[in-house]
Amino acid sequence: MDSLDQKLGCGILVQSLEDKMNHLVKKPSRIHGTGIFTERQISDRETFYEIPLSKVFNKPLPRCARIATNLWVSDEEVLNYVNHSCNPNSELSTLIDASSTPCLFSLRPILAGEEITVDYNRTEGPDAIRIKCECQSENCRGYLLRRE
């Protein structure tokens, strides 16, 4: 799948929804609080989690992520627990239309047991504030964007 396909949506998923969800688990994170970890290896540029459209809202909710102008997702199953990293292994698709759903896809191969991370700064909008980042990656910017 090339990057344009990724930006336009999740494309065709090769696994059932149940299989996709099964490998993601909540565990204590070294970055912050509880994180999401994969129990299986994920390939480069793989769509590994699709977010149900029932979890897309036209106003921000606590712990939600912004995916487009005036669209947010709040997903207590997985997404709300994905921590920020300035050197993330995954990204949240940010463009949706009637035929596509938001998803998480990998930016590189991810090993079984790794924590899933995304760059919050790529999805937050102008209403966000800067808070201190403690992601511990080598290229940490020192801040991340969050809504108050």
| Interface region with Zn ion, contact rule CB under 5 A, candidates 50-58, 60-68, 83-91, 105-113 | 83-91
Among residues 68, 140, 146, 147, the one that binds Zn ion under rule CB under 5 A: 140
**CA pair distance 109, 65, nearest whole angstrom:** 23
Structural tokens at position 55:
């979890």
Nearest CA among 148, 108, 114 for reference residue 128: 148
**CA pair distance 73, 66, nearest whole angstrom:** 6
On whether the CB atoms of residues 115 and 29 are closer than 8 A, the answer is: yes
| Interface region with Zn ion, contact rule CB under 5 A, candidates 16-24, 35-43, 102-110, 125-133 | 125-133
Binding-site size, Zn ion (CB under 5 A): 4
Pattern of binders to Zn ion over 38-67, x per CB under 5 A?
A: ------------------------------
Say whether residue 133 binds Zn ion (CB under 5 A): yes
On whether the CB atoms of residues 110 and 42 are closer than 8 A, the answer is: yes
Structural tokens at position 102:
């938001």
Among residues 67, 86, 92, 116, the one that binds Zn ion under rule CB under 5 A: 86
Identity of the residue, 56 or 135, whose beta carbon is nearer to Zn ion in the bound complex: 135
Which spans of this chain sit near Zn ion (rule: CB under 5 A)?
Answer: 86, 133, 135, 140
